[in-house]
Structure 1
Amino acid sequence: MAQIRDWRWWVFVACLMGGFSGMLAAGYFLGQWGMSVERADWAAERASYLRSVPVARAEERAACMREYTAQIDGLKATAAARDALDRQTAADVADMKSLMKTTNDLAAYTLRFLGDRARVNDAQSAAMLKQAREAAAAATAAQKTTVQVEQKVNVAAVKADEAASTAKAVDKKLDTATHPPLPAKPWAGSYR
């Protein structure tokens, strides 16, 4: 290559180098300016995100509080329902015990009534049997005239009638005896 001796070439090369340097400087400064704009946008976006974090946390906390409050209220309602069911069960058991006591009292009264009636029937049968034996013994022992036997039989029949009427009167008194008042609640078998 030949040596460049003309000063115009030096100016041209200097201008070329200056233009190239200017382009590099302009690119660098434009890049820095663009980066500063992006940094400013990023900072603004970050600031907006940072501002929205407490709001989002508060909303999330409120949602969690609502959910847990609803769960606690549900548990309280369940516990209240369980308590009400336990109280109802205890009341039902108490009612059943009172009904059982009333049923036992009624059964005891019925058994006493039937026992008294059986005793009266036994006494009536024993009296009639005793009178029949006495009449038979009188008839066989006396061996008297028919009139005397008939008189004794009539007397025995009158006594037997009196005993029967007495037994019927006692039986009627037992039938019409005042029963204790029945319980206010129905029997346990028909209890609803």
Structure 2
Amino acid sequence: MTQIRDWRWWVFIGCLMGGFGGMLAAGYFLGQWGMSVERSQWNEERATLMKGFPVARAEERAACMREYSSQIDGLKAIAEARDKQATQTAADVADMKSLMKTTSDLAAYTLRFLGDRARVNDQQSAVMLKQTREAAVAATAAQKTTAQVEQKVNVAAVKADEAASTAKAVDKKLDTATHPQLPSKPWAGSYR
């Protein structure tokens, strides 16, 4: 480059550099002022947030305490319900044992009753079977006797029929028989 020998160029360049430096300084100071304004606003916001943190923390803690206390109360209620259920279950088991004992006693009584009833029925059946056999024997004997009686009655009826027919025949012969003629004179012993 060619050397600049005129002083005005040096003044121009100095002013130009001074203007750039002033602009840089102004930009820096304006930036610092803007940042200080933003920083003050940010500090105010931060102070506001910092003031709100204990309140928010207290509210959050209260909400957590309510939630956890309700969960703890729920767990306590569940535990109490389980305890009640366990005691109820124990009572139910005791009742069931007594019912089972009662049922067992009732079943034993029923079985004894049914056994006695079956024994009585067997005895009655045996007596009825014996009576039936005796009745069958008696009926057989009576049937034989009845048959004999009927046979005798039949024989007697046949003989009676024969006698009746003989009597009828005799009767007929008597009716149809001719009477002898009476003597004209009575016989000797009839005189008077």
TM-score, normalised relative to structure 2: 0.43
- Higher relative contact order, chain-length normalized (CA < 8 Å, sep 6+): 1
TM-score, normalised relative to structure 1: 0.43
